[in-house]
Amino acid sequence: MALIVQKFGGTSVGNVERIQHVATQVAKAVKAGDQVVVAVSAMSGETNRLTALAKEMQKRPSKREMDVLLTTGEQVTIALLSMALQERDCPAISYTGWQVPITTDNVHSKARIEHIDGEKILQQVADGKVVVVAGFQGIGMDGDITTLGRGGSDTTAVALAAALNADECQIYTDVDGVYTTDPRVVPEAKRLDTVTYDEMLELASLGAKVLQIRSVEFASKYNVPLRVLSSMKEGGGTLITAEDKFKDSDMEKPLISGIAFSRDEAKLMILGVPDKPGMAYQILGPVSDANIEIDMIIQNQGVDGTTDFTFTVGRADMEAALEILQSTASHLGAREVVSDDTIVKISMVGVGMKSHSGIASTMFKTLADNNINIQMIGTTEIKISVVIDEPCLELAVQSLHEAFELDK
């Protein structure tokens, strides 16, 4: 008998029929012998409806009152789902965030969970009940209602699983797992049976947005086995766990788990900067100060006592970054500033890289064979990223997917 935390997002509980479907699914797990705790989001559309009402009341709605307002969304879902479960002869009880309680800090609209008291839930579960918990919400130290920010229901589910020492945390979504890459670009993309927390973090941050990054970090920190599955389609989904589980048993584990890519990239170059200490800070400092996130950074030392800087930012931030950079350039006496928003970033992710060499060279060879020029390269322990021209994106991803036999 396993204790499972299941999380259903807004689309999965988007209307009466969907909630009934979820109830049927939960009841099935209970009949199969599992103990189930469910975390749910607001019905899809509800958050937008409430936000629109708030904006009619106040130009910049109070964050405290927004939290009071938005948390009604999940409160509706937990009541309805509990009723639907009871109708299926599956005893169930709902808990809001403050009832659990899920204690957070006092930062409205993006609170962090400080502590979950699992006692009441475990008591109800021991009594044979399914406990339906409102995701996304908590109670601050000062007794105020708080929210964890958009998508926070994933975090609630993982934190609950950690606090209850659950056997698995299952995140039900509209996809049936994590894929080797985006199936819209590579039809041969395959669902991964397993992936490590680290890989998932790299894949998620790079655009394969199946799970909230924060919830994966949380799962990794507390070593909660996390499974992504479809709420509509049968199947085992993708299990996300710590690396060591595979170390010995999984000889066949592929070197590369997946290929992520992002179209939301722009490149900025400042050329011919006098090569003096502190230049990087003088160039990038003002950009960061403007709250623009900088991703990849490259510096090339020239032969004439000058140096070239290249970095990438989100595409929406390019104009603002360009303006800052032009002012910096004239100040520093740089030669030229260049920008390009027709670039993409492709990243190969895999824990296998740690122990295997040759992956980078295979990647570069594959791109060269396809006449794709690499503009920038960046690496981490389990990731190699390249920046290329946007029009080459599909060819690049498809040829890399094939070269690394991800479709096998």
List contacts with its own copies (CB under 8 A): 16, 19-20, 50, 53-54, 56-59, 61-62, 64-66, 68-69, 71-72, 75-76, 78-84, 86-87, 93-94, 96, 98-99, 143, 145
Output the smallest distance, CB 35 to its own copies, in A: 20
Which residue, 94 or 398, has its beta carbon nearer to its own copies?
Answer: 94
Output the smallest distance, CB 66 to its own copies, in A: 7
Which residue, 49 or 356, has its beta carbon nearer to its own copies?
Answer: 49
Which residue, 46 or 265, has its beta carbon nearer to its own copies?
Answer: 46
Which residue, 17 or 381, has its beta carbon nearer to its own copies?
Answer: 17
Residue with tokens 């389990």: 382
Half-sphere exposure of 398 (CA within 13 A, CB side): 10
Beta bridge partners of 271: 336
Output the smallest distance, CB 141 to its own copies, in A: 14
Residue with tokens 């609630």: 156
Which residue, 78 or 363, has its beta carbon nearer to its own copies?
Answer: 78
Positive or negative, the CA dihedral 156, 240, 47, 22 is negative
Kindly report the backbone phi and psi dihedral angles of residue 80, in degrees, each rounded to the nearest multiple of 5, phi listed first: -65, -45
206: which 2 tokens? Answer: 């790079």
Which residue, 125 or 208, has its beta carbon nearer to its own copies?
Answer: 125
Which residue, 45 or 235, has its beta carbon nearer to its own copies?
Answer: 45
Output the smallest distance, CB 373 to its own copies, in A: 53
Rounded to whole angstroms, the Cα distance separating 229 from 210 reads 10
Q: Could you tell me which of 28, 26, 36, 25 has the C-alpha nearest to residue 1?
A: 36
Output the smallest distance, CB 3 to its own copies, in A: 23
Output the smallest distance, CB 18 to its own copies, in A: 12
CA 145 from chain centre, in angstroms, equals 25
What is the DSSP code string of 343-404? EEEEEEE-GGGGT--SHHHHHHHHHHHTTPPP-EEEEETTEEEEEEEGGGHHHHHHHHHHHT
- What's 68's DSSP letter? H
Report the chain's terminal Cα–Cα distance, integer Å: 35
Which residue, 96 or 215, has its beta carbon nearer to its own copies?
Answer: 96
Rounded to whole angstroms, the Cα distance separating 377 from 300 reads 12
Output the smallest distance, CB 51 to its own copies, in A: 11
Output the smallest distance, CB 205 to its own copies, in A: 33
